[in-house]
Amino acid sequence: MNELAGKRLLLGITGGIAAYKSIELVRLLRKSAAEVQVVLTGAASQFVTPMTLQAVSGRPVRQDLFDPAHEAAMGHIELARWADLVLVAPASAGFMARLANGFADNLLATLCLATTAPIILAPAMNQQMWANPATRHNVALLEQRGVELWGPASGDQACGEIGPGRMLEPEALLGQLQGRFAPGPLSGVRVLLTAGPTREPLDPVRFIGNRSSGKMGFALATAFAGAGAAVELVAGPVSLDTPPGVERIDVETACEMEQAVMSRVTGCDIFVGCAAVADYRPDAVAAQKIKKHNDRMELRLVRNPDILAGVAARTDAPFTVGFAAETQAAEDHAEKKRIAKRIDMIAANLVGAREGGFERDENALTLLWEGGREALPMMDKRRLAEQLVSVVTEHYLAARHPAS
Could you report how far apart the first and last alpha carbons of the chain are, in Å?
Answer: 29
Residue selected from 62, 70, 199, 337 as contacting ligand CTP according to rule CB under 6 A: 337
- Determine the size of the site formed for ligand CTP (CB under 6 A): 16
130, 218, 319, 323: which one contacts ligand CTP (CB under 6 A)? 323
* Contact pick of 11, 88, 91, 307 for ligand CTP (by CB under 6 A): 307
Residue of 63, 89, 147 lying closest to 113 (CA atoms): 147
Distance of alpha carbon 157 from alpha carbon 17, whole angstroms = 10
> 300: number of CA atoms within 13 Å, CB side?
4
Instruction: Give the up-direction half-sphere exposure of residue 157: CA atoms within 13 A in the CB hemisphere.
Output: 21
* Shortest reach from residue 375's CB to ligand CTP, in Å: 18
- Cα–Cα distance for residue pair 264/258, rounded to 1 Å: 10
Kindly state whether residue 79 participates in binding ligand CTP, applying the rule CB under 6 A.
Answer: no
Tell me if residue 159 is catalytic: yes
Cross-strand pairs, 367: 347, 374
325 contributes a contact to ligand CTP by CB under 6 A: yes
Does the CA dihedral 397-391-345-316 come out positive or negative?
Answer: negative
Q: Does 254 bind ligand CTP (CB under 6 A)?
A: yes
Site for ligand CTP in 170-199 (CB under 6 A): 194
In Å, what is the CA distance from 240 to each residue of 99, 196, 219, 278?
18, 10, 10, 20
Q: Is the CB of 104 or the CB of 285 nearer to ligand CTP?
A: 285
Interface mask toward ligand CTP for 207-246; x: CB under 6 A? ----------------------------------------
Residues 208 and 200 sit within 8 Å (Cβ to Cβ) = yes
Residue 70 sits in the site that holds ligand CTP (CB under 6 A):
no
Is residue 308 within the footprint of ligand CTP (CB under 6 A)?
A: yes
Where along the sequence are the contacts to ligand CTP (CB under 6 A)?
Answer: 194, 254, 273-275, 277, 279, 304, 306-308, 322-325, 337
Question: Which residues are catalytically annotated?
Answer: 159
